Amino acid sequence: MNLKTHKHLLVLLIFGWATIFFYLWFAKSPYFSVFLNWAQQHLILYVSVLILLKIVGIIWPPLPGGLFTLGSIPVLGWPLAYAADFVGSAIGSSVAYFIAKKYGKNFVAKIFDEDSLEKINRVRIKPNREIESIFLLRIFGGNIIEVICYGAGLLGVRFKNYLIASLLSHLALGIPIFYLAQDFFSGQRVLINLALVGFAALLFYKLKHRYFEFN
């Protein structure tokens, strides 16, 4: 692996694991109950900060905004934590789209490494399948989900189709993740969750050539 061309992914992984370890430590510390009481007393402020972190996390991908919303499930419950993630994702994805559309590849290249951009350059969305294509890319994009937000603006995808696909994909993927994330904190149904991930990967492998063309 070339360190320079994969620096975005490395930063994302390091930041993500550091956040997870910090959360696990914090959840077992005596400070958690204090924080829980504060969050419940300042619910609007806390949710607003989560939405802001999600927005910034999409515009500047090294910040894993989704980890903060997922980590808030024990504090808010999964429906409210998911709602914060949904709103932040809708706003952040729209901002990223228009940034890419206005400033082009040169600006986006300053945010992402060459390897991530190459993945987008290789995708050719088939005509009249913009909604389906973006929907699948957002669900199965893995570590390039934020790149897709910028990439849609670069690839000439119509904003209406992009937004519809982004919102639908967030509902289809986000609700199950946040619901099943409760099991992560309790250690339940681990095998079932792994089976669902495997099924989703197989489904994308079977469908990807119907919606995408790769150079």
**Which of 61-70, 171-180, 189-198 tops mean pLDDT?**
171-180
CA distances from 173 to 4, 140, 153, 154, 159 (A): 31, 9, 22, 24, 21
**Which of 61-70, 86-95, 100-109, 180-189 tops mean pLDDT?**
86-95
Q: What is the pLDDT of residue 99?
A: 92
- 101-143 pLDDT, tens digit each: 888 888 887 777 777 677 777 777 776 788 888 887 777 665 5
Mean of per-residue pLDDT scores for the chain = 76
Handedness of CA 33, 39, 40, 41 (dihedral sign): positive
- 196-208 pLDDT, tens digit each: 656 555 655 555 5
> Which one has a higher pLDDT value, 44 or 189?
44
3-state secondary structure of 113: coil
Find the mean pLDDT for residues 57-75.
81
3-state secondary structure of 134: helix
User: Which residues have a Cβ under 8 Å from the Cβ of 158 and sit 6 or more positions away?
Assistant: 130
Model pTM score: 0.75
The tokens of 184 are what?
């992560």
Contacts made by residues 169-174, CB under 8 angstroms, sequence distance 24+ = 169/134, 169/135, 169/136, 169/138, 169/139, 170/85, 170/86, 170/89, 170/90, 170/138, 171/86, 172/135, 172/139, 173/138, 173/139, 174/82, 174/85, 174/86, 174/89
**Helix (H), strand (E) at residue 210:** helix 190-211
Q: In residues, how long is the chain?
A: 215
Q: What is the amino acid identity at position 214? A: F
3-state secondary structure of 214: strand
3-state secondary structure of 212: strand
Q: What is the pLDDT of residue 168?
A: 92
212 strand-pairing partners: 125
**Which of 23-27, 138-142, 156-160, 181-185 tops mean pLDDT?**
156-160
Q: What is the pLDDT of residue 81?
A: 92
Q: What is the pLDDT of residue 111?
A: 78
CA distances from 78 to 12, 36, 105 (A): 24, 15, 37
Q: What is the amino acid identity at position 169? A: S
